[in-house]
Amino acid sequence: MTAGEDRLAGGDGGVRRTVLPNGLRVITESLPTVRSAAFGIWAGVGSRDEGPDHVGATHYLEHLLFKGTRRRTALDISAAMDAVGGELNAFTAKEYTCYYARVLDEDLPLAIDVLSDMVTSSLIAPRDVDAERGVILEEIAMNDDDPSDLVHEAFGTQVFGDTPLGRPILGTAESINAITTERIAEHYRARYTPANLVVAAAGSMDHDHVVELTAAAFAQEADHGKGAGPARGPAVPAPPRLGSTSAQAADGTGVRLLSRPIEQANLVLGCGGMARTDDRRFALGVLNAALGGGMSSRLFQEVREKRGLAYSVYSFSGQHADCGQWGIYAGCLPAKAEEVLAICQEEIAKVIETGLTDDELDRGKGQLRGSLVLGLEDPSSRMSRLGKSELVYPRLEPVDEILAEVAAVTHDQVRNVAAEIIGQPKALAVVGPFDDAEAFRRALAS
């Protein structure tokens, strides 16, 4: 298989990108000072891409691709990585899925072969589907037993409604029990095509060698007639996910209460946010850091330090291709829930009315800069940046460019984004020992 022309990607030194004739993209970043390498295969499919007959199929596949191929059993896959002290894992998100490994640089060819084999040649055997069904149901049950996870999931449902973005990534017990091997294999064949996949690698490596190994691994599986492997894709890679043909509004409001006999109330108060490419995202990031992003933030100081009402309180922002969400999480004693909620509402109103102080603006910028740079100090994070950027951004933004955007955020931009985003009507999710949501509805309306 002959690779297409190489080119630099995004202007970052050490980053190279090659598109193979079948549409598969290979992006690497050379880090000569390390002795390890991170390798990932990213699929441009997430839980929001599931139709009614495939709810939970994307995450189900994440499990099944570890269960065996034409060349390897499940034990062979795990033993191969254990034998070299490597890490092997995967995760499913709303808009993409990633299978990744981290190994010593000398073992990178093994990681490429194993992961490529898994992604291209999974058997999707009925016996494995049946076995993993129970495992996934246990995972759903485990998630239901974690109130801090459950409240965020409930908040997403309240904001996005009964849409793919509002449903759990894991699916539901009903959808997992109902889905068939044929439906999962159908999802696999349709979504795991070379043009919809991105190979990303970072660490001690040579780009041309990674391209050669990847091309050979995918070519080895392309002509096999068995299994449920992905069909040959078109020569042109799938475009980045910059929007949706069925855009989903993030405008849900009201209260969603999940009653649980637990010792703590878990609250998420928030609203719809913005798309990941929105120019206002840097101002929102600075605002979010100052309002609820650290120990010096307003929420931490007001709720925990001054009043001792909660152990954990923070604000967060999440973006998708065409919409997003913003919110505040707090965990507190049930008797303190309404007081904590009132304080959060007061702090939101204050920042909308007056914005941030000069010190808060500077701290917010510093927190964003530090978290960005420190978060890219290892090959795994660098690999993730490459793969995610190729799937969901117009280009790979150089780090220095992002830092400059953060540094340029002004008070006016922060006040505007506060009014436009966090000033929207709110949704509230509550998980705790409550039988009636009426008090929370009154508090939300006040």
Task: Please compute the mean of the pLDDT values over residues 265-293 and round it to a whole number.
Answer: 97
Quote the CA–CA distance of 117 and 111 in Å, as a whole number: 10
Q: Dihedral through CA 307, CA 312, CA 318, CA 324, nearest 10?
A: -50
**Amino acid identity of 382?**
R
| Phi and psi torsions of 19, nearest 5° | -110, 120
Range from 2-11, 116-125, 327-336 carrying the lowest mean pLDDT: 2-11
Range from 4-18, 130-144, 149-163 carrying the lowest mean pLDDT: 4-18
CA triple 101-104-108, angle to 5 deg: 60
Burial 298-326 (b: 16+ CB within 10 A, else e): bbbebbbeeeebbeebbbbbbbbbbbbbb
Structure tokens given for 372: 């960005």
Looking at residue 227, what is its pLDDT? 43
Quote the CA–CA distance of 414 and 78 in Å, as a whole number: 48
Quote the CA–CA distance of 183 and 358 in Å, as a whole number: 55
Give the pairing type, strands 254-259 and 25-30: unpaired
5, 29, 50, 62: the active-site residue: 62
Dihedral of alpha carbons 105, 109, 114, 119, sign: positive
Cβ contact 203:36 at 8 Å: yes
Cβ contact 391:237 at 8 Å: no
Alpha helices in 202-259 (DSSP H): 207-222
Q: What percent of the chain has pLDDT over 70?
A: 92
Task: Please compute the mean of the pLDDT values over residues 179-199 and round it to a whole number.
Answer: 96
Looking at residue 213, what is its pLDDT? 97
Q: Dihedral through CA 207, CA 212, CA 213, CA 218, nearest 10?
A: 120
What is the per-residue DSSP string for 384-402? HHHHHHHHHSSS---HHHH
Please list, in sequence order, all residues whose beta carbon lies within 8 angstroms of the beta carbon of residue 233, skipping any fewer than 6 positions away. Answer: 22, 23, 24, 193, 194, 195, 196
Is the pLDDT at 445 greater than 50, yes or no? yes
Helix (H) or strand (E) holding 186: helix 181-191
pLDDT tens string 143-188 = 999 999 999 999 999 999 999 999 999 999 999 999 999 999 999 9
How many angstroms separate the Cα of 51 from the Cα of each of 94, 164, 167, 242? 13, 8, 12, 20
Single out the residue of 296, 314, 301 nearest to residue 361, CA to CA: 296
Whether the full predicted model's pTM is greater than 0.85, yes or no, is: yes
Select the more confidently predicted residue: 243 or 324.
324
Average pLDDT of the chain is 93
Helix (H) or strand (E) holding 107: none
Alpha helices in 89-125 (DSSP H): 108-121
Cβ contact 56:176 at 8 Å: yes
Is the pLDDT at 322 greater than 80, yes or no? yes
Active-site annotation holds for 62: yes
DSSP-derived letter for residue 115 is H
pLDDT tens string 55-103 = 999 999 999 999 999 999 999 999 999 999 999 999 999 999 999 999 9
